[in-house]
Chain A
């Protein structure tokens, strides 16, 4: 194509899209670079894995059929008959788990680097909502293959939802589409998984990214103080291409890990769910729900005048609310941060999740 034609097309697009403005903006955008910069990549990796989820999810939709009589067989068909179907499904399942892992790492890196502090409270809140949505994706997607483990784990999960004070029974009924896990539940979970949750996630994700862009990446208080003592400014690197190249490297490493997991440990399909069969021994949810699941098992059936499970659910609700409000109770009136308190709370939470997840897995 002649250079003149290319130039013409470029100018035509420029007139209509104003790409020069974007280019100009990106050319001047910079991000801080310091000893803790690597932790920022986990946000981008989570975004990358979400993109993989969307892409592989759309491909799975071409063959998946959401009914109790066909769901398992359609996944089996994808795994055995469709070209690279096994790879697509394995990547979808592994990427889902890795995405939740990197989302947790991202959240705790924000906590330990104190990146939640003003004016980034809304960035933190939208991030927490996104983590909740990711867990919702995991819970709803787990049932879709309609195998024994997923069927009974969903029954346990919705049983826990049923003990939420006041709204528990109607909430469980709404989730199940009836009194027990059935074809209605499968259709409902499919709807949540491929329509409701993606729609909400896209909106919240765009808001989260817009807020990150507006307030830029934070610099940890310690790093700021260190450079202030030296009388220097925190070094910055251009977003394009320096930061983007580094982020790309992280994405490629993630892709390699994902490829190894999907090829060497393809996601198992298990046995088709039989609602009339007794629940197999050792039913447990996905790893990211193990800590609360195991905690609920440890609580006595009655504590004072409350049922143990109700008490557990109330405590988890209060803990989640307190965690979501972290930027507000972490700041003193003079605007300084209670860094020790937050770090201590973060260490406690990480320890609790790690220990109780391990106990839930091995016991």
Chain B
């Protein structure tokens, strides 16, 4: 019995003493304490890893000299140039990684080496981002954790730590306005305001571990990852070859890059839209742009007009759900036409617009019929109320007449 208790106590003491690093560093101050404070939130700790797995040393030794002994493989603080290789010891090992997550990628280091960051680091530039600059250190969280610095909603802030730093970016001849520009874009609105986590953030276009700016030739392909139909139309349009010849990067010419605002039909205007940047109003392309803009505006106005009639009918209590479904189909035609615009072919756009106009005409008529129905109902109500009122007056007169007759009879009797 005594032997068993002694063994249990020894086992408990050994378990307690397994990570003396945390125990000591918690009692320190400043930078030496910070890792121990952050460590409880780290995903590696949750998976059973300890300080020594990265820093080496003996985490079971109570004596700091022995715990941080070079003889025991203690590395101390990791040099920035060594970080990617250190992380890759595990993250590039499929056997190890797939024990924790069968779908986990193991090509992060290979990708990083192709990135601008990786190339500059290899050249000895220690100011570029390494793994810990984006993923944090000692409190590394899973990417899907909303508190992770690489979670979609936070990644722009993480990138901005360097890319919004004018002084740092000046060393690389880069602007530092991209993060602010992005925050004014339709993509950030979708991500932050609508909560659509599939909306693009920095890494969606530039890549994450293999981060690199899309080149002129690849911009359309990057945008086409989401906007596939627009890309297809654009590739077949006259602009594709013209932009390629001029060395212009497709989508960016009209929509910009980081500050991509919600596109409007007015963008097609030759006077104050983007088409006017290259085309004169009386040139054939200028006329085509004006024609397409006119068609889109017409369908949008028709949709608004029929929506107003339907809303008026619904407010009056008329059932218009079938017309609502039709209206949504008309709206889809407008959206389709706005995609077809990227072909810059007025006839192709007209086909979508004509279908949309046909639908909106039917919807508008359905709305007018609904309003007529409302008026018929109200007229019917007036007639019914008049008939009911006449009947009530008749009943009241009959009651009054009986009361008067009874009163006269009682008076005659009394």
A86-B319, A268-B317, A269-B321 known; A252+B388 contact, CB < 8 A: yes
B319 A245 Cβ-Cβ under 8 A: no
Q: Does B85 contact A (CB under 8 A)?
A: no
Q: How far is the CB of A147 from chain B (nearest CB, A)?
A: 11
Question: A160 to B75, alpha carbons, bound, how many Å?
Answer: 64
- Cβ contact within 8 Å between A241 and B402: yes
Q: Which of A90, A245, A256, A264 contacts B398 (CB 8 A)?
A: A245
Q: Known contacts A79-B319, A242-B399, A245-B399: does B388 contact A263 (CB below 8 Å)?
A: no
Cβ-defined contact, B385 with A256, below 8 A: yes
How far is B318's CA from A249's CA once the two chains are assembled, in angstroms?
Answer: 31
Does A260 lie within 8 Å of B402, measured CB to CB? no
For the complex, give the distance between the alpha carbons of A263 and B398 in Å.
Answer: 30
B377 within 8 A of A: yes
A76→B319 contact, CB < 8 A: yes
In contact, B317 and A266 (Cβ under 8 angstroms)? yes
**Do residues A248 and B385 form an inter-chain contact, with CB atoms below 8 A?**
no
Given contacts A245-B399, A259-B384, contact A265 B319 (CB under 8 A): no
Report Cα–Cα, A118/B380, bound state, in Å.
48
- In the bound complex, residues from chain B placing their C-beta under 8 Å from that of A263 are 377-378, 380-381
Tell whether B389 is near chain A: CB-to-CB under 8 Å.
Answer: yes
Residue in A closest to B314 when the chains form the complex, CB atoms: A268
Contact between A264 and B395, CB atoms less than 8 A apart: no
On chain B, the residues within 8 Å of A90 by CB distance are 317
A361 to B392, alpha carbons, bound, how many Å? 35
* Residues from chain B with Cβ under 8 Å of A248 in the complex: 395
Query: How far is B191's CA from A198's CA once the two chains are assembled, in angstroms?
Result: 55
Q: A79 vs B322: C-alpha distance in the bound complex, in angstroms?
A: 11
Chain B, residues 332-343, CB within 8 Å of chain A (1/0): the string is: 000000000000
Q: Flag if A259 contacts B381 (CB, 8 Å).
A: yes
| Contact status B321-A249, CB under 8 Å | no
- Give how many A residues have a beta carbon under 8 Å from the other chain's beta carbons: 24
Q: Which of A90-114 contact B (CB under 8 A)?
A: 90
A246, A253, A259: the one contacting B399 at CB < 8 Å is A246
Nearest to B319 among chain A residues (CB) is A79
Contacts A256-B388, A260-B381, A268-B317: A80 and B402 contacting too (C-beta < 8 A)? no
Kindly list chain A residues whose C-beta atoms are within 8 Å of the C-beta of B104. Answer: none
Which B residues from 380 to 405 make CB contacts under 8 A with A? 380-381, 384-385, 388-389, 391-392, 395-396, 398-399, 402
A204-258, CB < 8 A from B: 241-242, 245-246, 248-249, 252-253, 255-256
Q: Are A260 and B385 in contact (CB under 8 A)?
A: yes
Complex Cα distance, B233 from A341, in Å, reads: 82
B392 to chain A, nearest CB (A): 5
Q: In whole angstroms, how far apart are the Cα atoms of A45 and B319 in the complex?
A: 30
A252 contacts B392, C-beta separation under 8 Å: yes
Pairwise interchain contact B381-A245, C-beta atoms closer than 8 A = no
Q: Which residues of B contact A264 (CB under 8 A)?
A: 317, 378, 381
Bound Cα distance A313, B188 (Å) = 49
Chain A residues contacting B402 (CB-CB under 8 Å) are: 241-242, 245
> Known pairs A241-B402, A249-B399, A253-B392. 7 more at Cβ < 8 A?
A76-B321, A86-B319, A242-B402, A245-B398, A249-B396, A259-B388, A263-B378
Tell me the B residues contacting A by CB distance below 8 Å. Answer: 317-319, 321-322, 377-378, 380-381, 384-385, 388-389, 391-392, 395-396, 398-399, 402
Q: List 20 A-B contacts (CB under 8 A).
A: A76-B322, A79-B319, A86-B318, A241-B402, A245-B395, A245-B399, A248-B395, A249-B392, A249-B395, A252-B388, A252-B391, A252-B395, A256-B384, A256-B392, A259-B381, A259-B384, A259-B388, A260-B381, A263-B378, A263-B381
Enumerate the 8 nearest inter-chain pairs by beta-carbon distance, A residue then B residue, closest first: A266-B317, A263-B381, A79-B319, A249-B395, A256-B388, A252-B392, A263-B377, A245-B399
